[in-house]
Each structure stands twice: as C-alpha cells, then as structure tokens.
Amino acid sequence: MNIKCDQCKEIFTATPDQIRFISDSQKKGMKFIMLECPSCYGSFSLNPQTMDVPYAVKETDGDCLRCPCNSCYGFISPISDEKAFWGCGECGMVWFIQSDLFDAITDSIQRHPYRSNVYTKKGDHYISVPLKDEPDNYEEIVARE
C-alpha cells in the first residue's frame, strides 16, 4: 500500500503495522488518523476511508473545526467508538462532551481574538468557516502562540 506524505510529499510503502492500523480504522468507520512518514519522520493526518488528507474533503462548512488548543492549528474530528468523542490528531487533545469543546473554543477566542476568524457561532454551537475563507496566514499566527 503506497501513501503520500502530506508534509514532505514523498510516496512511501506503508509498514505492516500501518496497514493493520489503517484497516482497523476503516472497519471502525474512522475518518481521521495520524501516521508517521518514514522519509521525513513527520506526522500527518489521513482519512482511512478515502486515503486522502481529511481536511481536504469537507462534507459541509460545519465540518473540521480548528483545534482551540494553544499553538495548535489542527482539525477536530468526531471519533466514533463505544462512546463518541472529539479529538485533534495534531496535538492529541480529546473532548468527551461537545459543550466542553465549545467552551474551549470560546476560551481560545477570548485569549486570541484572531481565532474567531475560523469559527461561526450558531446558538450555543460552533461551526467552521469554509477553508477558503480562513485567513491565509492563520496557521503561522497560531504556531507563534
């Protein structure tokens, strides 16, 4: 199984452990996993259902909330398990209650007002703005937090 690293763009052959991890993730219906590239040793996200970068395919504008954690510009993904939760594949943070995730977003916006540019509040929920509407330098600014 050949995979293209989203960081260095090298194509590599998945290890047996990676193939097993991808297969297990596909069976569970997961849409977001992290893999390590053997060329650059960087971690990158992958949707095991499509074998593409998960944030490249948004089903709706509300999908793919940006992570509210300090210095993290990753994407939050709903994780289906025995009990559903939300997690960021970049920093590893998880939220078991949706309101806790939205509270973290609110706190992040209060600390860093520019982060409000990637969220739209609908009642007591947040949805993401379309990727094309995010500030061009959003990831650079967040990385400097």
Quick one: which of 125, 128, 132 has its CA closest to 102?
A: 125
pLDDT tens-place string over residues 21-78: 999 988 887 777 888 899 988 878 888 888 887 543 344 444 579 999 999 998 888 7
Across the chain, how many H-helices and E-strands are there?
3, 9
Residues 75 and 132 reside in one and the same domain: yes
Q: In which order are the strands placed within the sheet that holds 94-95?
A: 76-79, 85-88, 94-95
Shared domain check, 48 and 77: no
The whole-angstrom separation of Cα 42 and Cα 33 is: 14
pTM of the model: 0.61
Q: In this structure, are 127 and 96 located in the same domain?
A: yes
Residue 122 tokens, joined: 């609908």
Percent of the chain with pLDDT over 90: 44
> Quick one: 45 and 90 in the same domain?
no
What is the pLDDT, as a whole number, of residue 119? 95
Domain that holds residue 111: 58-143
